[in-house]
Structure 1
Amino acid sequence: MIRSLQALLAAFALLLLPSPAFAWWEYGHETTAEVAMKLVQPRTRQSIEWLLKRQKVLETPTCPARTIEEASVWPDCIKTLGDRFNYAYNWHFQDVDICKPFDLKEWCADGNCVSKQIARAQRMVADRELPARDRLMALAFLVHFTGDLHQPLHGAEHDGDQGGNKVKVSYGFIPRTNLHSVWDGLLADRAISSPPGGADGILSQVPPADRAVLAQGSLEDWSRESWQLAKTIVYGSVIADPCASPAPAKVTFDQAKIVELMPALRLQVAKGGIRLARLLDEALDGNHPEVAHPPKPPKKG
């Protein structure tokens, strides 16, 4: 009941927002983080807990990071702090056009995109020589951005629509929202809370052997997968041929469409948590390749 009320209030608040909504909203990010924490190795969990106990060093009392769930939404919360963290705005997405060949080089040339920042955050979490503040901030970014990468509309766009933010949608009893917000929160909240709900419920539908397969691949592989899902599942569910015609003036999500799309969204949350667990173990359980074999410094003149 409380979760349903929160979703309802968030939905109405969304109607008043002049800018794109937060990614995955709280429930999606928290659940992705919970899935990961259920899968990480004991040493990894201990290291995460050690860092979280030092959350006061972040000096963001209105945006705490006392738990992995709070840390998972910290990068969205700090958007409210203005100039202090506005450098990170573009780190949450990479709007690769679904109707062009997949190519991260152009979109991520300067490193200001979600996949590059995941890699950077993982390296920083793994670096025991860094101050606790830097590593904890990197941990929050790593957890959050891995969640973002698995929300398909953070990895793709269609006809300059900013990841679906410009596609008008009617969703159930909500007459006016957009496609991005549906996948970020409205559909996400419904899918994650439907039985079997939460992190345990989502994991229960992914056998251990399948988890091992899903954990494989690189950040570029996962980026390409998310981009492809945006084309086939997200845009494909509202446009017959996304690359042959523009989006309709308005899309209606009725009950049948919502139920049809829920399994795909639940699987994305599962993938995000499973892959996040792998990234965290690599960084904190002593298996990160760049820590085990750091690059050699360049030779002098």
Structure 2
Amino acid sequence: MKILRFVAAALPAFGFAAPASAYWEFGHQTVARIAYANVAPRTQAAIRKLLAETPRLDTPECPATTIEGASTWADCVKPLKGPDGKSRFGYAYNWHFQDVNICQPFTLEEACKDGNCVSAQITRDVAILKNRRAPAKERAQALVFLIHFVGDLHQPLHAGEKNDKGGNDVAAVYGSYSPKRFNLHSIWDGTLAERAITSGPSLVRRYPAAEKRRIAAGTVTDWSRESWQVAHDVVYASALNGDPCAPSPAKVTLDEATIERIVPVARLEVERGGLRLAKLLDEALG
């Protein structure tokens, strides 16, 4: 499968040292495609108009004129440097995640100090998109950031962790698959995400209005708490024999039975991300 080939090729290069490694291409693209399929026609037109402005961002290495390209733009631009040799988008590093300890009561106060976290940036991006007087370049960048960050928020290890860089420090085996430097974070980013998305009927479809309202209900803070809870109840619990706050061993193993059990959860997270992104886009652009 595409993502599995990508894993084998990319893991040694990436090393997964940082919690901002995001939902890889397939996960982000699927969230974006679900959203685009479920926004109003007027919103779709506004999205296309803003994406046509993305060449103004001067990132030809990372084209974002399609919804799929927009969904991965925020990851693609991470290594880009300016003429001075400094990172052009280093300021956005912490916007991809929020380190909320799953073994402490939920709060965003410390994780989002100074508004420097994924949920706070989602809120800022929506506000920029709502401001019709904001420059087109600024609104285009807010759009591509928003599309990506809503996906990130629904990867549970971007919302909850236990002082292990969002699972990046936890070496892992996925079934019989265990390449060098594979870890818990990369499983939820890639291999598990692909299996979840490709299991069952396509997630990219027009959802009934009642189902959209049910899944997209709540606020960004509510979604943050929910994703954090999934990290506690499913991600770490499944990796640590039911005790998410137990000390992590040198390596955890997700056997086939465990994978089968958590696939529906991973699938639901992608679905939630897409429909909630649709809600925010309709509110901002519809």
**TM-score of the superposed pair, with normalisation by structure 2:** 0.92
**Aligned partners of 1:155, 1:237: CA distance in 2, in Å?**
17
Alignment of 1:90-101 (within 5 A): 90-101=94-105
1:164 counterpart residue number: 167
Point out the more displaced range, 174-183 or 261-270: 174-183
Q: Select 1:115's aligned residue among 119, 135, 150.
A: 119
Number of residues of Structure 1 aligned to a counterpart in Structure 2: 276
Q: Is the 8 A contact 1:11 1:186 kept in 2?
A: no
The AA in structure 1 aligned to 2:149 is F
**Aligned partners of 2:170, 2:208: CA distance in 1, in Å?**
36
Q: Which structure 2 segments of 5+ residues have no match?
A: 82-86
2:196 counterpart residue number: 191
Over aligned residues, Cα RMSD in angstroms? 1.5
Pairwise CA distance, 1:58: 1.0
2:286 is the alignment partner of 1:282: no
Q: Is the 8 A contact 2:238 2:254 kept in 1?
A: no
- When residues 198 and 221 of structure 1 are mapped into structure 2, their CA distance, relative to the original with a 3 A threshold, is closer
1:261 counterpart residue number: 262
Structure with larger Rg: 1
The AA in structure 1 aligned to 2:269 is Q
Alignment of 1:1-301 (within 5 A): 4-18=1-15, 19-20=17-18, 22-82=21-81, 83-158=87-162, 160-171=163-174, 172-176=176-180, 177-200=182-205, 208-239=209-240, 240-243=242-245, 245-285=246-286
**Aligned partners of 2:114, 2:2: CA distance in 1, in Å?**
41
> Residues 33-69 of structure 1, C-alpha deviation per residue, up to 9 Å, x if partnerless?
0000111011111100111112211110000011011
> Residues 201-233 of structure 1, C-alpha deviation per residue, up to 9 Å, x if partnerless?
xx7xx7642321111101111000011110000
> Residues 73-97 of structure 1, C-alpha deviation per residue, up to 9 Å, x if partnerless?
0000000203111110010000100
Pairwise CA distance, 1:101: 0.7
The AA in structure 2 aligned to 1:250 is K
The AA in structure 1 aligned to 2:131 is D
- When residues 36 and 55 of structure 1 are mapped into structure 2, their CA distance, relative to the original with a 3 A threshold, is same
**Aligned partners of 2:156, 2:244: CA distance in 1, in Å?**
15
Q: Is the 8 A contact 1:40 1:278 kept in 2?
A: yes
**Aligned partners of 1:198, 1:36: CA distance in 2, in Å?**
10
Q: Is the 8 A contact 1:169 1:175 kept in 2?
A: no
- When residues 282 and 74 of structure 1 are mapped into structure 2, their CA distance, relative to the original with a 3 A threshold, is same
**Aligned partners of 1:5, 1:219: CA distance in 2, in Å?**
31
**Aligned partners of 1:179, 1:15: CA distance in 2, in Å?**
15
Point out the more displaced range, 175-184 or 115-124: 175-184
**Aligned partners of 2:6, 2:51: CA distance in 1, in Å?**
29
Q: Which structure 1 segments of 5+ residues have no match?
A: 286-301
**Aligned partners of 2:155, 2:147: CA distance in 1, in Å?**
13
Pairwise CA distance, 1:198: 4.9
SS of the counterpart of 2:78? helix
The AA in structure 1 aligned to 2:193 is A
Q: Is the 8 A contact 2:3 2:26 kept in 1?
A: no
**Aligned partners of 2:197, 2:12: CA distance in 1, in Å?**
22
